[in-house]
Structure 1
Amino acid sequence: MKILNYGSLNIDIVYKVPHIVKPGETISASDVQQYAGGKGANQSVALAKAGAAVWHGGTIGSDGLWLLDLLKKFNVRTDLVRQYDGPTGQAIIQVSDQGQNSIFLFGGGNQNNTEADVDDALSHFEEGDYLVLQNEINLTSYIIEKAHARGMKICLNPAPYTEDVKSWPLEKLDLLVVNEIEGQDLAGKSGSFEETLQVLTGMYPGTSILLTAGKAGAYFGKDSGREFVPIVDAPVVDTTAAGDTFFGYFLAGRLVGLTDREAMERATRASAMTVSRPGAMDSIPFAGELD
C-alpha cells in the first residue's frame, strides 16, 4: 500500500514579529529565517516521519531544488516532482511573540501542474493506494476524478480554504479533514462542533470526517460513528505545521491498523511536539520521539 501526496512545495520565509502586522502599520522583525514548506510538503514529511511510505508529486523551479534534498533526507520519495521554467511557490509568514502566525502565498510551480504530469504520477499507483491532497495546487478536481477512477482512496485537507472547494467531487473522498471554520462553511450553517460533524457526515455518507477544533480538540465522524480527543497541552512556539502534523500522523496511524481514536490520540501528541518548536517540516517529530 503506497501513498501519493500530490501537493505544494514552498520556500517559507519566516519573520519573527512582536505581533501580526495590521493594515497600514509598519513594524520591525527581530529575526528572519528560510525554511522548506508548503502544506503538501509538510504533510509528506509528517507521513514519512510517522513511518509511512510516501511519494510526493508536484512542480518546482530551479530555485527550489534544495527542497528535494530535504524531502529525501526525511525519506520522502521525490521522483514524481517535476521541474519547470519558473519560480517555486513561496510563503511569507509572520510569527508573533505569542506564537500565532499569519501567512500569504505565491503559487509559483504549485499552480503550474499539467494534466500530463498528473496522469504520469497516478500511473505508478493502483487500486487501494492512497492519494493525499490539499488546496495549494491547481487541477485538484481533475486529480480527484482520475484517482477515483483508478480505485485509489482519496484524502483531502482543503486548506487554505476557498469557495471553489464546494464544487469539487467531495463525494468521492475516503477522508475529509477540516477545521471548524472550513467545516461550518461546507455544512452551510454555523453550530457546535458536534452539529457541524452531524451535517457533514450526512452530506458525505461513507466518508470519514476529521474536524480539528484548535484548543477544543478534534472530532471524528463516519456515518453514525463518533470520536473525540482533547488536545495535549504544550508550550507554543510556532503553530505553522500543527495541522499538517495532525493530518499526517492520523493517516499514518490508520494505515498501520490503529483505530480512529488511537490514530487521533497519536496525532494529537505529535502536534503538541510540533507547536513547541520553530519552523515547519523541521519541527515535525519522528515517530520514535513520541515513543
Structure 2
Amino acid sequence: MAIYNLGSINIDHFYEVDHLPMPGETLASSGYRVGLGGKGANQSIAAALAGAPVHHIGAIGEEGGWCKTRLSNAGVDTDLVATVPTATGHANICIDTAGENLIILYSGANAHISDTQIGEALGQAVPDDYLVLQNETCLTYEAALIARACGVFVVYSAAPFDASRAIQMLPVVDLLVVNEVEAEQLSSALGVEVDDIEVPNLLITRGANGAVWRVGATGEHIYADAFKVDPVDTTGAGDCFVGNTVAALDHGMTIPDAIRFGAAASAIQVTRHGTADAMPNRAEVVAFLAERGSD
C-alpha cells in the first residue's frame, strides 16, 4: 500500500517572541529561522520517516527548489511536485516562550496545483492506498472523488478550518480529522451534536488530552492518551500525529495502536524546534513507546 498526499508546501519563517502579539502591537523577535513547512509537506515527511511509501502532489515556485529537495531527502516521492510561475507558499509563525504559536499563511503555488497532476497521481493508486488532504491546497474535493472511485481511503484534515468546505467534503471522505475547536465549529454549522456528524470515521485531536477516534458504523470510541512531555514548539504537532497515524495504518496496525503511535510521534516532535525539521523517524517512535509505553 502507499500514501498519496495532495498537500501544501510552505517556506516557514519562525519568530521567537515573549508572548503572542495583540492587535496593533509591535513585538521585537528574539530569534529567527527558516524551515520547510506546510501541512502537506509536514504530513508527507512525518509519514515517510515513519516508514510509509509517500507520493506528494503539490507545487512550488522557482525559489522553492530546496523544499522539493528536502522532501526527497526525507524519502518522499516528489515526481508530482510541479514548479509554477508564482511564489512558493509561505507562513509567518510567532512562537512564545510556552511553545504556543500564531500563524499567517500565504497560499502561493499551493493554489496552482493542476487537475492533470492529480489525475496522473491517482491513476497509479490501487484500492487500500490512502489519499491525505488538507485545506491548504486547491482541488481537494475533486481529488477525493477520484480517490473514492478507485477504492482509495480518503483522510481529510479540515484545517485551516472552513465550515462550508468541510461540509462539502463530508460525503467524500473516509476519515475526517479535526481538533476539538474545529469539531465544535463543524457541529454548530451542521446543527448537530459532534457525535452525530455523518462521516465513516471521525478523529478528534485534543492536545494534551490525547485523541479519540469514533467509528461511524458502530459508534465505538477509541481513545489515545497524550504522553506527558515539556513542549518547546507545538507548530506542526497535529500534522505529525496525522502523518504517523496514517503511516501506522498503512503498516497494518489496528486503530488503537495507530493513534497511539501517532501520539508518541507528536510527543517527540513538540520537544524540538521547527515543523518538518522536527519530525521523528520510526526508530525514534518505537524506542519512545518501548520506554514510555506504560504511560
Moved more, 17-26 or 223-232: 223-232
SS at match of 2:258: helix
Moved more, 260-269 or 28-37: 260-269
Of residues 257, 262, 266, the one that matches 1:271 is 266
Contact 1:58 1:110 in 2 (8 A): yes
CA shift, 1:163, in A, is 2.5
In 2, Cα distance between equivalents of 1:17 and 1:152? 43
Of residues 188, 208, 219, the one that matches 2:212 is 219
Provide the residue aligned with 1:24 in structure 2.
Answer: 24
Give the aligned CA root-mean-square deviation in angstroms: 1.6
- The answer to whether residue 192 in structure 2 is matched with residue 199 in structure 1 is no
In 2, Cα distance between equivalents of 1:141 and 1:260? 25
SS at match of 2:257: helix
Alignment length (residue pairs): 283
Unaligned residue ranges in structure 1 (runs of 5+): none
- The answer to whether residue 257 in structure 2 is matched with residue 262 in structure 1 is yes
* TM-score, with length taken from structure 2: 0.92
Give % identity: 38
In 1, Cα distance between equivalents of 2:151 and 2:91? 33
Provide the residue aligned with 2:127 in structure 1.
Answer: 127
CA shift, 1:162, in A, is 1.1
* TM-score, with length taken from structure 1: 0.93
Provide the residue aligned with 1:59 in structure 2.
Answer: 59
- The answer to whether residue 232 in structure 2 is matched with residue 244 in structure 1 is no
CA shift, 1:216, in A, is 1.8
In 1, Cα distance between equivalents of 2:108 and 2:150? 29
Moved more, 117-126 or 80-89: 117-126
In 2, Cα distance between equivalents of 1:58 and 1:133? 11
In 2, Cα distance between equivalents of 1:95 and 1:242? 13
User: What letter corresponds to residue 186 of structure 1 in structure 2?
Assistant: L
CA shift, 1:182, in A, is 1.1
- The answer to whether residue 246 in structure 2 is matched with residue 285 in structure 1 is no
In 1, Cα distance between equivalents of 2:113 and 2:249? 29
| 1:6–1:265 Cα change, 3 Å | same
Provide the residue aligned with 1:2 in structure 2.
Answer: 2
CA shift, 1:19, in A, is 0.7
In 2, Cα distance between equivalents of 1:85 and 1:266? 39
Contact 1:145 1:169 in 2 (8 A): no
Contact 2:43 2:243 in 1 (8 A): yes
